[in-house]
Chains A and B, each alone.
Chain A
């Protein structure tokens, strides 16, 4: 089994990875992308997933572990594995605001489209990903609301554990959210500003 944590960038994927790690599930991450002001607790990324579209079979290296795969790369997942996909959902206006801040921090300029058009493009993208997921009957999907997670960390950690089907440490998972809570809430306020 491979646990995939996915979502559009800035939807809480790093937090979900953090929780699974704390819960005792091995995670596939190389630490190459260091923590920064946008993600002070780290990105939990495996650099090679960025090339998943070109080399889909590398996903086999995540067998028995959790790995972060960004939403657009989900479509590259090859058949032949038992996947459990945790799809993080966060209001897209918040996501876009957070992405814009992150782009500014990275010095890579702003979004390629005006805000309204970019928001529409992200909505269309997510709709496309969801439609694709519905067509992949070999994927089990758990859609986790970022706000629900912030509001009820133990409850959501419990649901996540049941979905994964492994005996994870729910309390430790929930504590990750508590620790992040202040930062995430203040980010949400900042993003909206």
Chain B
């Protein structure tokens, strides 16, 4: 077994934290702890998975597996106990989390607040569930912990005392965040109540974490803070620069909340690091980012988990500790890599069934990575709930239906029934999207076909079309897309006037589990009415004026731009660039923020030799995602066409730096270097390209030419020439075969 590379590991989760907000604050000296952490460690973007839904993502972080393996498929699941739904539970997770594996290996292990962490698992340490911090009653009434919120049960009273109630958030705590709090009319504006609730919940988790670090022995601790995500959902539309339609007075009151949320987390981080000590390895991660600039959506789709449209595809990672590089950037990390990396830090093997990889680039010296087929096959007490406490939600639902039909249980009311149907359907839809995201359309197809039979919602048909496209069934995909374009779905029912014109800050707070929104009160304010009846775990109302918000919501929910985009992609692949461009430009007009849209537009312009237009499109793509390797590759190709070889080389280097497995990036680099008179470096780049993509004909041609130069290897030149010829021959045969099949 390899030597452990860490004595202790502290894993800190900041939901939705994003370098786009944190980096400027660090530059201004306003997040000194995070700045210090990355100065003495590594930092990078952490690519998320789709769908970008936090319960699924945090369980992928904890297991190193995609959701189809770990079993957490959304926010809600059927509850046989009530006949309704409940927040997804730890008993639904099918595989071991990192804290279970470490428990099994005898490490003292604590976990706090993790998504889908209720009931608390019996780990070799302390487990505090995600229902722990929620206040279920006003401050003057008892607010007992829900059963199962703390393990071991003997510490229940201790941890109950460590909680903070929203009603305990005083002016002294509020004014540094919201100096103009006194100007708020709390009868109309519930922003302060939302603020107090989020702050109290996160302080409760922080108190529990610092108590453990101060008093208890530990080898591993995972602690999750939802604050940044919740503050952003509630207040990001009031973050500078002021968005169109946001009243100036409202903006002035709440404009600093998001930045202060980051600074608050930085202060919490400082305490955690001090308590953890210098010998601890610290890993800070977020599951996704959050649009904070011109890409902030102005409306939210009126569908379950609709606010996920505010999430950005890159979260953050920072790591510091013995054996970890100092002041370096790492590239290409995904949230699936976190658990395999922690296992390696402890000198433990990585499961071959894990979908992530070890972040070897973060280590001073390449660590020895060992593997076993699966941790699931390793017997022993691992701190999971007993197998008989875990039950497939679909089977549980069948039992409930049977008991209702027999007359032994009250039938669920209409709302509950509807909520159960939605939860089951969304879980299937999310699973289908996991399969699409991991390029397994064959598994997604039956799920999507079943969902579409029961609902004609555009988003389901969109993904069915995408699934057919990925399966090479272009005709079927086009048929669905043509239907969506010709018969655009009706916009969702506009919000009621009162809701649409709601000028409330913080109205978009994620609904806490069990419909218990904490009933947050501050100065006697009631919580928002009606939230607990929503089938969706989140509700959002923007501050944009009603009509504008309505139009934006309709646009955000519209399937047409997306359908046009995919139709454009199909036309492009069929060689019809006129049609492709027409579709893509219509999509751009309707929704210029569609992911990958500008890359496709750029590629189409490149094929049409409209180089300047292509450059503009790739630069637009970079405005949306500055870390897009494909956009930098596109610019490299543009510069090659423009014969600006130095620029082409630089863009190619950025592209392969962001994503090493990018064969066309290495190819472009090779072309630029060859033209710049660096044949040896060009040869290395081309060899890398063809090793990643052996069918890259032009790569072999370039290598043949370079090796044929004086001082080259003529045998290699000959081999590459023959390979290129063979590949071309095969390609012609394939084209002929397709033509005759048609």
Contacts and interface: CB of A to CB of B under 8 A. Distances in A.
B83 interface: yes
A29 interface: no
A106 B399 contact: no
Contacts of B401: 112
Interface in B371-392: 385-386, 388-389, 391-392
Nearest to B390: A128
B399 A72 contact: yes
Contact of B403 (A70, A75, A76): A70
Contacts of A102: 406
A122 interface: yes
B402 interface: yes
B594 to A, nearest CB: 41
Main secondary structure of the interface of A (DSSP, over half): helix
Determine which residue in A72, A79, A118 has the highest number of CB atoms from chain B within 10 A of its CB, and name it. Answer: A72
Interface in B385-427: 385-386, 388-389, 391-392, 395-396, 398-403, 405-410
B407 A53 contact: no
Given A53-B82, A131-B389, A132-B389, A125 B399 contact: yes
Contacts of A122: 399, 402
Given A70-B403, A117-B398, A118-B398, A128 B388 contact: yes
A50 B398 contact: no
B408 A112 contact: no
A188 interface: no
A121 B407 contact: no
Nearest to B392: A124
Contact of A50 (B392, B400, B409): B409
Contacts of B410: 50-51, 54
Interface in A87-110: 99, 102-103, 106, 108-109
Interface string A1-19: 0000000111000000000
B147 interface: yes
Nearest to B386: A131
A102 B392 CA distance: 26
Contacts of B406: 9-10, 99, 102-103, 106, 108
A99 B409 CA distance: 14
A52 to B, nearest CB: 9
B391 A79 contact: no
B403 A72 contact: yes
Contacts of B80: 72, 125
Interface string A114-129: 0001101110110110
A128 B391 contact: yes
Contact of A72 (B81, B147, B386, B388): B81
A123 to B, nearest CB: 9
A120 B410 CA distance: 23
A187 B70 CA distance: 43
A73 B402 contact: no
Nearest to B82: A53
Nearest to B406: A9
A186 interface: no
A168 B642 CA distance: 99
Given A72-B399, A75-B81, A120-B395, A9 B408 contact: yes
Contacts of A124: 388, 391-392, 395-396, 399
A33 interface: yes
Given A111-B402, A131-B389, A70 B82 contact: no
B388 A131 contact: yes
B401 to A, nearest CB: 5
Contact of A70 (B388, B395, B409): B409
A40 B395 CA distance: 31
Given A111-B402, A131-B386, A33 B391 contact: no
Contacts of B386: 131
Interface string A52-86: 01100000000000000010110110010000000
Contact of B405 (A73, A106, A121, A125): A106
A189 interface: no
Given A70-B403, A79-B147, A125 B391 contact: yes
Contacts of B147: 79
Contacts of B407: 33, 106
Nearest to A103: B405
Contacts of A73: 81, 409
B398 A112 contact: yes
Contacts of A103: 402, 405-406
B83 A108 contact: no
Contacts of B409: 50, 70, 72-73
B438 to A, nearest CB: 28
Given A50-B408, A50-B409, A121 B398 contact: yes
Given A125-B391, A130-B388, A113 B405 contact: no
A124 B389 CA distance: 8
Contacts of B391: 124-125, 127-128
B118 to A, nearest CB: 14
Given A72-B80, A76-B81, A112 B402 contact: yes
A103 B83 CA distance: 19
Nearest to A76: B81
Q: Which 8 A-B pairs have the closest CB atoms?
A: A127-B388, A121-B395, A50-B410, A53-B82, A131-B389, A108-B405, A70-B408, A131-B388
Given A73-B81, A102-B406, 17 more contacts: A9-B403, A33-B407, A50-B408, A70-B403, A75-B81, A99-B402, A112-B398, A117-B395, A120-B395, A124-B388, A124-B395, A125-B391, A127-B391, A128-B396, A131-B386, A131-B388, A132-B389
Interface of B: 80-83, 147, 385-386, 388-389, 391-392, 395-396, 398-403, 405-410
6 contacts: A9-B403, A53-B81, A72-B399, A73-B409, A108-B405, A111-B402
Interface of A: 8-10, 33, 50-51, 53-54, 70, 72-73, 75-76, 79, 99, 102-103, 106, 108-109, 111-113, 117-118, 120-122, 124-125, 127-128, 130-132
